[in-house]
Amino acid sequence: MSKKTRRRTGQVGGAAPSPATTEPSPPVQTGPAPEPEPVVLTRLLTEVEPVPVSETVLRGMMRDWRRGRATRHLWDMIQDGYVVLLASVMIGAMLVSVVIRAQGAVSGCDTSGCISARTLLPWAALCGVLALTLMVARIFGPVVASAAEGFWLMEAPIKRARILWGRLVAVILGAAVVAAAFGGLVAALTGSTWAGVVNWAVAAGLGAAGLLAVAAAEQTRDRTWVVRTVQWLVGIVGLAALLVVIATAAAWIEPLSWLAATENRLNLIVAVVGAVLLVGAGILALNRLDEIRRARLVSGGSLVAGMQGAMYAMDMSLMRDILVERDAISRGHVRPTKGHGTGLTALVWRDAQRLVRFPKQMILLVLSVIVPYAVSALGLGVLSPVVSGLVLLTALVPMLGMLRVLSRTGGLARSFPFTTSQIRTAAMTVPAIATLVWIAAVAPAFIGLGAGGAHLTVVDAAIHAAITGLAGLLGAVRWVTAKPPDYNKPMMQTGFGAMPPGMMGNLIKGIDIVAVVTLPILFNWSYWISVVIAGIAFFILRGSMNTDDMRAAQEEQQRQLEANKAAAGGKKKIPPPAR
């Protein structure tokens, strides 16, 4: 290395430069020392050890969160709804009066048919309550959780059993109370003694609670075939009880006198079996609550949320739509079928094909045939038009699926080259044919089965059956085609606050048509009054005076008039599009 190079690099005598001479000296700090930068540790959530959580404290926090942010309390709602409470008390008093009068009327009938009906109808009601309990438990849960809870609560490091056990107990207790009330009411209406009413109420309550516990235990294993099988068996037993009532009243078989003597023992057996199932299956379900799948819980919770929203609007049709959608999702897919015909014939044929592909819709219609015979056997033939019409309304609603879709989907209905009245007539054709078959099947029941009841001639019985069937059909059409509440219109002031117009009417839609058509027969007036009322109702429900169609026709005429005026004046004017 030359002297010039050593001088440039600062080396003297070939020595290496020192660090002190090459690195710059740090600046002198005159203020406080700066804080050290925080150290960020990046770790995955799967590597973090879960911290145990107290379920009791967590439930307390959730309760405080919900109650602390509530704007109104229960007492405020009670004060606002004093009118509804007063109406409930009055309706309850009227119901008690009706029960007492029914007991006096039914207990006065001492024929074999009446005695058989008083003995077997509570059994049919008990089986119906148990089957309905199993159906509701299979559809909803019985243990459910909301989507929010399934998102964070079911994934937390906690035991699900400590969160869900309260819900299971509440559902079982609620089902027991409702079933006991219904079982006792039916027993009271059939003329049973007050001791017998209490026995039937206890049997129905414990039986429903026990079967609900079985459904909860099956839910932990994510199985439904056991609950479905028991539901069908219980329903068949109830149907057999009704058939025995009818056969005894018609003198086809001998009265079952031994059944009346052993009624209290059979009630006790049902209650004991229900209690055993409640304890055994309930303990098993509580021990398995940790094994319930989150998807099963959230599925039932979403269905409950949808039903609550529909119930808030008092739209029973929307509630049924939600259940139909759930059934379609569980079915998955179907095999397409080729249609036949053109025009309105194609719509009628498609409705008939749908009935053949899904014969489950006919189950309620077949069961409704038994109702007039059971009412007549009980000696209450005067109430048969009203009761049978309401039951027929319920049975015909599943058969009006096409009418429901075309009524709620205006764009789809306008895509057809037919008027509203033509479409509705085509949609009512298949249910009308089914109603004619129903009328022919129940006409003998209106003649009278029990020896103590009123008997009609063949012509009068046929007329009463036809009016009852027509009332049920028109009531079902009214129930399906009723418009939902309109929240764009001014609200109405009620005891519970403001409500949109039409919301309260949703509770009695369909029932009003049945009542108006059948009440003249109930009051022994001329049946022509019922025929005229039914004709007016059919004319309105058919859509012959549809305000939407009339408004659209007026707008179309106005556009044509403006176009003609513009063409006559030599000015080309483009009409505005239709709304």
- Which pLDDT score is estimated for 72? 62
| 494 membership: H or E segment, kind and range | strand 492-494
pLDDT digits (tens, 9 = 90+) for 209-226: 999 999 988 888 888 888
What is the maximal distance between C-alpha atoms in the chain?
Answer: 142
pLDDT digits (tens, 9 = 90+) for 57-110: 777 777 777 666 666 666 665 555 555 566 666 666 666 666 666 656 555 566
| Candidate ranges 242-246, 312-316, 360-364, 558-562; pick with highest mean pLDDT | 360-364
| 139 membership: H or E segment, kind and range | helix 112-140
Confidence of residue 12 (pLDDT cuts 50, 70, 90): very low
Q: What is the pTM of this model?
A: 0.71
**Cα–Cα distance, 207 to 192 (Å, whole number):** 20
For the cut 80, the answer to whether the pLDDT of residue 9 exceeds it is no
Question: What does DSSP say about strands 497-499 and 492-494: parallel, antiparallel, or unpaired?
Answer: antiparallel
For the cut 80, the answer to whether the pLDDT of residue 369 exceeds it is yes
The single-letter DSSP state of residue 419 is -
* Domain locations in the chain as residue ranges: 111-312, 355-485+499-541
Task: Classify residue 65 by burial, with Cβ atoms within 10 Å: 0-12, 13-18, 19+.
Answer: exposed
CB 181 within 8 A of CB 77: no
Q: Which of 56, 280, 279, 99 is nearest to 192 (CA)?
A: 99
